[in-house]
Amino acid sequence: MIAAPLLPNDAARVASLYDYNLLDSLPEEEYDNITRIASEICHMPISLITLLDTNRQYFKSKTGIDGTETTREVSFCGHAIANPNEVMIVPDSSKDERFYDNPFVTGAPHVGFYAGVPLVNEDGYALGTLCVLDNKPNELTEAQKQTLQALAKQVVAYFELRKKNIELNMQKEELKVLNQSLERFAYVAAHDLKSPCNNLMQLADLLKSNYGAQLDEEGNWMLDAVGSASATLGGLIDGILQHTRSINEINVDKDQTTFGQLAGEVEQIINVPPTFTFTYTNADMELFVPKSALQQILLNLCVNAIKYNDKESGELTMAAAQEDGHYKFTVSDNGPGIPEVQHEKIFELFATLGSDYEGNKGHGIGLSTVKRLVEKHGGAISIHSEPGKGSTFEFTMKK
């Protein structure tokens, strides 16, 4: 018997094999179907999908044979992978100098015939074979050989899909850890930055209260500017923290409520100015939704509608409806409107279009947060608006 050779690149080949996490894995139907088909088409009692480890041959799938592995030294497939671009056919094992005294030829399962197609991955490594065996001398027709090669390609395709799924799961775990670290950093940064912002605002108020009368107009303006800048920075920090939390929000518990109850809570929280008319329709509609997420979305949209409204009498309307598999919500106002060319940009992080009625510029975080929350809950958001005619934000949420 001539032992199966170790290949010059065997260490790299085995390392590549380990990337698929196939060795010692549980049986899988897609592989077992292929070995059954190979055995049937080739009229052979035994068919295997083998994987060649450093010192052993593992059977990922098997038809017509017991056991799950052999030593690599006595394997036929160890010889087959030495020529990864060729189908190795042994018509009569008893007459082949490599195998005539092999224990699997002289003893059970008494291999008399072998045909193996190397399973070559995308990196060019032969990880194992798809093979058929008979316990008497035999041969394959050209059609059977081509079919066996086609089945081997399918096995490799399953291997590559498995590897990509492994890599995707690893990336998801890494992203989860990264997001958790980002949230912790954002929280600490927000806390550490907000303290001096609050101190600056309080100091500016104290200075103006105690010494404002002694300062000229420019001095008072400077104190007001310090207080205003500190408040703006504080708002930006709050927005960043809220946006970060929306990215990492994992609580998808749903609550039973009605649209009227939810709208009433939103109205109370935003403290609608007396110059505004606030209305909502379909108040009795039952909702089973992630309430905190939906409330945050509506609050952001309503606060923006009030903050940027340029009319003496503001109008704000919320509505809800049901579609197949989704709830649909709209928030409409009679504000300045938004040009169509800006409809996509407004959902980008830190994108700002203008100032509110007091001249304060936005942070460009709120609508980006809204979009992320909507998409996170299986929905989509869009805007319908024309300059001077107000805006309507429409979004859906999966039931």
Q: What is the pLDDT of residues 211-260, one digit of tens each?
A: 888 888 888 888 887 777 777 666 666 666 665 666 555 456 788 999 99
What's residue 301's pLDDT? 93
Q: Is the domain 10-165 a CATH 3.30.450.40 member?
A: yes
Say if residue 198's pLDDT is above 90.
Answer: no
Considering 55-64, 216-225, 270-279, the range whose residues carry the highest mean pLDDT is 55-64
Six-digit token pair at 334?
A: 């009679």
Task: Count the Cβ atoms, other than its own, within 10 Å of residue 177.
Answer: 10
Say if residue 375's pLDDT is above 70.
Answer: yes
Q: Can you tell me the mean pLDDT for 334-343?
A: 90
Q: Which of 382, 397, 214, 368 has its CA nearest to residue 293?
A: 397
Residues 22 and 158: beta-carbon distance below 8 Å: no
Residues 78 and 127: beta-carbon distance below 8 Å: no
Six-digit token pair at 204?
A: 């500016």
Say if residue 383's pLDDT is above 70.
Answer: yes
Which has more pLDDT, 330 or 295? Answer: 330
What's residue 357's pLDDT? 53
| Confidence tier at 209 by pLDDT (50, 70, 90) | confident
Of the chain, the percentage scoring pLDDT greater than 70 comes to 88
Which has more pLDDT, 243 or 140? Answer: 140
* Spacing of C-alpha 376 from chain mean position: 11
Please name the residues in contact with 306: beta carbons below 8 A apart, sequence gap of 6 or more: 270, 272, 273, 276, 314, 316, 333
Six-digit token pair at 305?
A: 């509608």
Six-digit token pair at 380?
A: 């989509």
HEC secondary structure over the chain: CCCCCCCCCHHHHHHHHHCCCCCCCCCCHHHHHHHHHHHHHHCCCEEEEEEECCCEEEEEEEECCCCCEEECCCCCHHHHCCCCCCCEEECCHHHCCCCCCCHHHHCCCCCCEEEEEEEECCCCCEEEEEEEEECCCCCCCHHHHHHHHHHHHHHHHHHHHHHHHHHHHHHHHHHHHHHHHHHHHHHHHHHHHHHHHHHHHHHHHHHHHHHHHHCCHHHHHHHHHHHHHHHHHHHHHHHHHHHHHHHHCCCCCCEEEEHHHHHHHHHHHHCCCCCEEEEECCCCCEEEECHHHHHHHHHHHHHHHHHCCCCCCEEEEEEEEEECCEEEEEEEECCCCCCHHHCCHHHCCCCCCCECCCCCECCCCHHHHHHHHHHHCCCCEEEEECCCCCEEEEEEEEC
Which has more pLDDT, 171 or 31? Answer: 31
CATH class, domain 250-398, is: alpha beta
| Confidence tier at 393 by pLDDT (50, 70, 90) | very high
Q: Can you tell me the mean pLDDT for 153-160?
A: 96
Least confident of 7-16, 172-181, 326-335: 172-181
What's residue 137's pLDDT? 96
What's residue 191's pLDDT? 65
* Spacing of C-alpha 35 from chain mean position: 34
Report the amino acid identity of residue 111: V
Least confident of 28-42, 243-257, 265-279, 340-354: 243-257
Task: Count the Cβ atoms, other than its own, within 10 Å of residue 315.
Answer: 16
If you count them, how many residues does the chain have?
Answer: 399
Say if residue 136's pLDDT is above 70.
Answer: yes
Q: Would you list the domain boundaries of the chain?
A: 10-165, 250-398
Say if residue 189's pLDDT is above 70.
Answer: no
CA distance linking residue 49 with residue 44, whole number of Å: 14
Taking only the tens place, the pLDDT of each residue in 346-370 is 888 766 666 555 555 556 677 888 8
**Phi, then psi, of 328 in degrees rounded to 5:** -120, 130
Q: Rounded mean pLDDT of the chain?
A: 88
Least confident of 41-50, 105-114, 170-179, 374-383: 170-179
What's residue 258's pLDDT? 94
Six-digit token pair at 110?
A: 């008494």
Q: Can you tell me the mean pLDDT for 72-100?
A: 95
Q: Which of 313, 296, 307, 274 has its CA nearest to residue 371?
A: 296
What's residue 249's pLDDT? 57
Query: Hey, which residues does 63 pair with through a beta bridge?
Result: 47
What's residue 246's pLDDT? 60
Say if residue 32's pLDDT is above 60.
Answer: yes
Of the chain, the percentage scoring pLDDT greater than 90 comes to 56
Say if residue 119's pLDDT is above 70.
Answer: yes
CA distances in angstroms from 198 to 25, 125, 191, 235, 299, listed in the order given:
58, 62, 11, 11, 24
pTM: 0.54
Interhelix angle 259-270/291-307, rounded to 10 degrees, is 50
